Every structure is written in structure tokens, then in C-alpha cells.
Amino acid sequence: MRTSLSENTLHVIAKIYTDFSSKFGIPRQSGLVPELRGEIVFESEFRRPEAILGIEEFSHLWLLWEFSEARKENWSATVYPPRLGGKEKKGVFATRSPFRPNSIGLSCVKLEEVILAGKDAPKLIVSGVDLLDGTPIFDIKPYLPYADAHPEAEGGFGQAHKEDCIEVIFPQELLNRLPKEKRQAAWAVLAQDPRAAYNKQPDYVYGMAFAGFDIRFRVEGNILIVCDVVPRTEDFQRIK
């Protein structure tokens, strides 16, 4: 499969399958919710064991991928970062906005497992994901601590909301409706406060699609309260 960006052609080498069937609720950066896992399945042309030879020696990977659900005909030089309340403009290249001249995203994920046998093998299991289910991946590169880590780096205006979180009340009866292995991740995602900074309506019931379920919640002050968990019929085939 190929996708065209400007006059250049990129190859989609794989797709990643996650618990997010819609954009609402996806963490704003990779690594914020370590419990979130994804399965990387290579396209048939690139599904070759020798292509990932040695990848198990690395703990983390860089993923280059496409904002496949955030395309626009025209690009804008300035955007409104959601974490700044949607009221303050910043240059598109000073943000990680999905609306860019080239709809390319970058994520650093932890490599949990390399699967070499079975259907669609080889496959990669990664954690700390921030990608929509079925996101096309253009490239995978190893994370190199000596070159990629910069502890002295400054985070600019993005640093101001690094510690943003919200208290979560998730009644045990509702939590039990989720598969056991998905509960901790769901809680952690909610604690990040999925709402956009400019869309925090009082007395409003939000719905977050996660792992084949619709998690419905409201927010009172700085407390997020889960009020229902119901299956999403259209997502049943994606539940793992």
C-alpha cells in the first residue's frame, strides 16, 4: 500500500491496532499511559522476519505514522493547541497539532514483545501508545538513549500542562464490565482528562470509545465520575 504526500511517495509498512476506535480519549502524547498496548501488524510486502532482525535488543522504538483522520485540504501556519484552551495561537511547527502540511505523527513506544510465529507474524507488541486503531505506520526506528535523550531540554509552553490530571471515581460495578486486562489502562486514560480544554461543559455526559466499550462520564469540579459502561456493537470485532 502506498500513500502520496506532495510529490513524494511513502510506503505504509504496517498498521497498529489499539483500543481507540475514535480520537476522543487518546493520550495527547505517547508514554503518558504506559498501560496502553498496541499490536503492530506489517503489510504483506514488509512482513518478513529478517526486516526486524535485532529489534528485540532495543527497549523502545520510534514510530512514524499518518494522522489518517486529521486531513485538511489547506494547511494553516498557526493552530490553537488544545492544552492552551483553544484561545492562544502558536505556529504549527511549534506544536504537535495533527493538522500539518504533511500529516505525519511521531511516537516513542516501549517494545514489549516480538511475535515470530502465528497468524500475520512477525508482529510487535508495544506499550505507551497514543494512536487510533488501524493507524498506518510509515517507519519504525530504534530509540537510542545516547542520541535521543536530552535531560537538559526545555519543554516550552507544552511543559505547563505536563502534570495535568483529574481524580477519577470509577464504581467497581462499572469497572468490572471491562475485561480485567483493560481496567487499569481505562482508569489511567480517564485520569488524563480526555476533554479538550475549551470544551469542559458542566452537567454534560461524555462518551469515550475504548476497547469495544463506551465509557460514559461526567465531571464535577476536578472529579471525573464514570456513570455507565456499555458495549459498542460496531467494535465487537476489535475486542481482543
Residues 98-153 pLDDT 10s = 888 888 999 999 999 999 999 999 999 999 999 999 999 999 999 999 999 999 99
The string of pLDDT tens digits covering residues 6-21 is 456 889 999 999 999 9
* All cell numbers assigned to 39: 499490536
Q: What is the rounded average pLDDT for all residues in the chain? A: 89
pLDDT at residue 228 in the model: 98
pLDDT at residue 83 in the model: 67
Delimiting residues of CATH 3.30.2310.20 domain(s) in the chain: 163-238
Q: How far apart are CA 40 and CA 37, in angstroms?
A: 10
Q: How far apart are CA 94 and CA 79, in angstroms?
A: 9
Least confident of 55-59, 123-127, 230-234: 230-234
pLDDT at residue 70 in the model: 67
pLDDT at residue 236 in the model: 43
Least confident of 69-78, 104-113, 138-147, 188-197: 69-78
Does the structural domain 2-68+103-148 have CATH classification 3.90.550.10?
no
Could you give the maximum distance between any two Cα atoms of the chain, in Å? 54
pLDDT at residue 68 in the model: 82
pLDDT of 219 above 50:
yes
Delimiting residues of CATH 2.40.30.70 domain(s) in the chain: 2-68+103-148
* Position 237 confidence tier, pLDDT thresholds 50, 70, 90: very low
* Position 160 confidence tier, pLDDT thresholds 50, 70, 90: low
Across residues 149-174, what is the average pLDDT?
87
Side chain identity at residue 33, one-letter code: V
* All cell numbers assigned to 203: 452537567
Q: How far apart are CA 177 and CA 199, in angstroms?
A: 28
Q: Do you find a cis peptide bond into 122, omega within 30 degrees of 0?
A: yes
pLDDT at residue 238 in the model: 42
Q: How far apart are CA 40 and CA 218, in angstroms?
A: 33
- pLDDT: is 7 or 59 the higher one? 59
Least confident of 59-68, 176-185, 191-200: 191-200
CATH number of 163-238: 3.30.2310.20
Q: Measured on CA atoms in the order 73, 40, 108, 198, is the torsion positive or negative?
A: positive
